[in-house]
Each structure stands twice: as C-alpha cells, then as structure tokens.
Amino acid sequence: MRDCKGRFAPTPSGDMHIGNAFCYFLAWLAARKEGGKLVLRFEDCDTLRMQRGAAEQTMSDLAWLGLNWDEGPAPGEESGPYFQSCRTAIYDRAFDELRGRGLVYPCFCSRQDVRQAAAPHPDESSPVYPGTCRTLSGDEIRERSRLRAPAWRLRVTDETVEFLDGLYGQQRCAPAAEKGDFIIRRADGVYCYQFTVALDDALMGVSQVVRSHDLLSSTPWQIYVQRLFGYEPPAWLHIPLLLDDGGRRLAKREKALSIRQIRRCYTPEEVVGRLACLAGLQSGPEPCGLEELVPRFDPSALRREDIVLPPDFFARCRE
C-alpha cells in the first residue's frame, strides 16, 4: 500500500472563502485520519487570472485555521516546485513524450468551428470534438501554422474509465464519446487543468484527492492522463459544495464569507466547530480543536447533497 498523501490545490485567484476552507478542512482530516501527509500546491498556470498576494493570503488563512501541510512552497521543497507556473519544464517533458508517442496533434479549430462541426450534444458548452484536425498532413499543418498557433489535443481511445468515489460511488465515463480528443495545451502555450493536475498529483505522490463534487466530472480525464504515463490514480473523495444562505455558490469575489473577513470576527476554534457541524461531525457549532476531530472523521457521515449555510452562521461578519 502507498503511504497516504493528500493535497490542497488552491487556485490563487482571490481570497479563500468558507467553501474552500470546508474542502481543505475535509482534505486535512481525511489525510490525518490515515496518518498521512499533505502537500500544498498552487494552481496558477493561467497567470492572467491570478491575483497578486492571494497565495500568501491562502497560506496564512490555512495556517490560521490549523490546516498545516508537510510539503509546499517553502525551503526543503521535495517534489516541487509547488507553483504550477514554475512547473512548465515538467509539463513540457511530459508533452514531448506524448508527442513522441504520436498521442497528441495540433488543432487549428476555433471554438465556433468545433461547435458547428460537432454532432448535437446535450452539453452545448462542450461538444464532442469531431476530429477535424486528427488526420492533417504535414503540409497542411505547416500551412495552417503560418496563420495561427495551434492548440494541442490528446488522441483518446475508445476505452472506458471507471473509478470509485468515496461518497458518490462507482463512476463510469467513455472519454471518446463524451468529449473526444481533448485539449491539453492551449494555443497560447498554457497547459490545461486536466493535464497539469493529473501530472502533479502523480509526480507529487498524492494518493488521496478530496475536493468539491463540481470536479467529479473532471476525474476520468485526469485518470486517463495518469494511465497514459503508467501512474496509479489516487483514491477520490468528492464532497458536497457549501452554498450561501440563499443557496448560491460561493465566489471568491464576494468578500463577506472570505476567511480574511471571518478571521476578524471569529477564533479558529469557532470556525473549526462550525465546519465540523456542517460536515456532520458534531450536532452544533460549538468551538472545537482540529486534532480532536481526527478520530471522529468519517466520510460516510457526509451527505451527497450540497450544504446550505444556516443564515446566521457567520452573523458577526455582517455586523
């Protein structure tokens, strides 16, 4: 059996909110319950979306909550760097390997081209790629490259990806039928989320991924990439989303429920107690310490439905 290693994988595009904290809280408990370690990795490939200072603020917020990690951006980096923006050489190597194996090809289609050429698909926003550029000749590629830089797609086979999620159960996906060949490197050279996450989790030795269920549908792509390189995928635990008291998804731009704001009005134990209550680890929001929750953590106490924050849960932030 592999040693247990979990991870926090924030995107430093703004202040961390209570929904992010809920996810990291559960990732921390799941790893510590197994006597495991945690790695902190910042997903900042798409540098234009990032906010200056957000990574430092996130580290400060995690530390304030007591959600410590064993590997991350600090001296003694073991399997770093821990900022994706500094890992391009690693992604380049993996990309070159796939290219050498004939598994990627340049694609010159615009989004509109794909939409128009694709067969009708229930999810309009991500139609199945019809394979337009799959068989371009060398000359055609050279010709088109003069006009625009290509994105790069991974050739997917007909295989089905199956995996067991710790909360949502057995999952099944046929990548070729659901999306077709997918982009792993954009035309501007930025590597795509599914590719970088899959590689980083594998290269950093992550054996357990705990994250919100909005990423459940991304998991087969990540498994697909990991298998191409012969990596063993981690165990998956997708968790419900925390919604605001109006039932809306929390967003980084709304400041009221950011940890930065909550820190002004609550102690770490008060916040941890509330998170524990939301996770079904205690019946009320009484303050409590993280360590005492470790033996009590039980993923099966989680419900699959999204969790709506009770209206007055962080009332002091509004005063």
CB of 218 to ligand GLU, least distance (A): 7
Instruction: Please answer whether residues 240 and 307 qualify as being in contact, where contact means their C-beta atoms are separated by less than 8 angstroms.
Output: yes
CA of residue 58 relative to chain centroid, distance? 16
CB of 155 to ligand GLU, least distance (A): 23
CB of 223 to ligand GLU, least distance (A): 12
Residue with Cβ nearer ligand GLU (37 or 211): 211
Q: Does 11 contact ligand GLU by CB under 6 A? A: yes
Residue with Cβ nearer ligand GLU (10 or 72): 10
Rule CB under 6 A: choose which of 4, 6, 10, 184 binds ligand GLU. 10
Alpha-carbon dihedral of residues 269, 54, 42, 5, nearest 10 degrees? -10
Q: Name the token pair of 21.
A: 């904290």
CB-count exposure of residue 293 (10 Å: 0-12, 13-18, 19+):
buried
Could you give the CA distance from residue 50 to residue 168 in angstroms, rounded to a whole number? Answer: 31
Q: Does 5 contact ligand GLU by CB under 6 A? A: no
Which range, of 3-11, 121-129, 274-282, 304-312, touches ligand GLU by CB under 6 A? 3-11
CB of 57 to ligand GLU, least distance (A): 14
Rule CB under 6 A: choose which of 4, 6, 9, 302 binds ligand GLU. 9
Could you give the CA distance from residue 10 to residue 143 in angstroms, rounded to a whole number? Answer: 40
Which range, of 7-15, 63-71, 81-89, 280-288, touches ligand GLU by CB under 6 A? 7-15
The residue type found at 248 is R
3-state secondary structure of 153: strand
**Residue corresponding to tokens 């073991």:** 78
Residue list 38-77, contact with ligand GLU (CB under 6 A): 43
CB of 43 to ligand GLU, least distance (A): 4
Residue list 142-161, contact with ligand GLU (CB under 6 A): none
Q: Name the token pair of 120.
A: 């009708």
Could you give the CA distance from residue 153 to residue 102 in angstroms, rounded to a whole number? Answer: 11
Q: What is the CA radius of gyration of the chain?
A: 21
CB of 294 to ligand GLU, least distance (A): 22
3-state secondary structure of 182: strand
Which range, of 5-13, 65-73, 98-106, 181-189, touches ligand GLU by CB under 6 A? 5-13
CA of residue 267 relative to chain centroid, distance? 28
Instruction: Please answer whether residues 102 and 64 qualify as being in contact, where contact means their C-beta atoms are separated by less than 8 angstroms.
Output: no
* Binding string, residues 196-225; x marks residues near ligand GLU by CB under 6 A: -x-------------x---x----------
Residue with Cβ nearer ligand GLU (11 or 261): 11
Instruction: Put the strands of the sheet holding 208-212 in their side by side order.
Output: 169-173, 161-165, 235-239, 208-212
Residue with Cβ nearer ligand GLU (141 or 215): 215
How many residues touch ligand GLU under the rule CB under 6 A: the total is 7
CB of 44 to ligand GLU, least distance (A): 9
Which range, of 4-12, 136-144, 229-237, 299-307, touches ligand GLU by CB under 6 A? 4-12
**Residue corresponding to tokens 């999952």:** 171
Could you give the CA distance from residue 198 to residue 207 in angstroms, rounded to a whole number? Answer: 12
* Binding string, residues 156-195; x marks residues near ligand GLU by CB under 6 A: ----------------------------------------
Q: How many CB atoms are closer than 10 A to CB 80?
A: 16
Note the residues at the interface with ligand GLU (CB under 6 A): 9-11, 43, 197, 211, 215
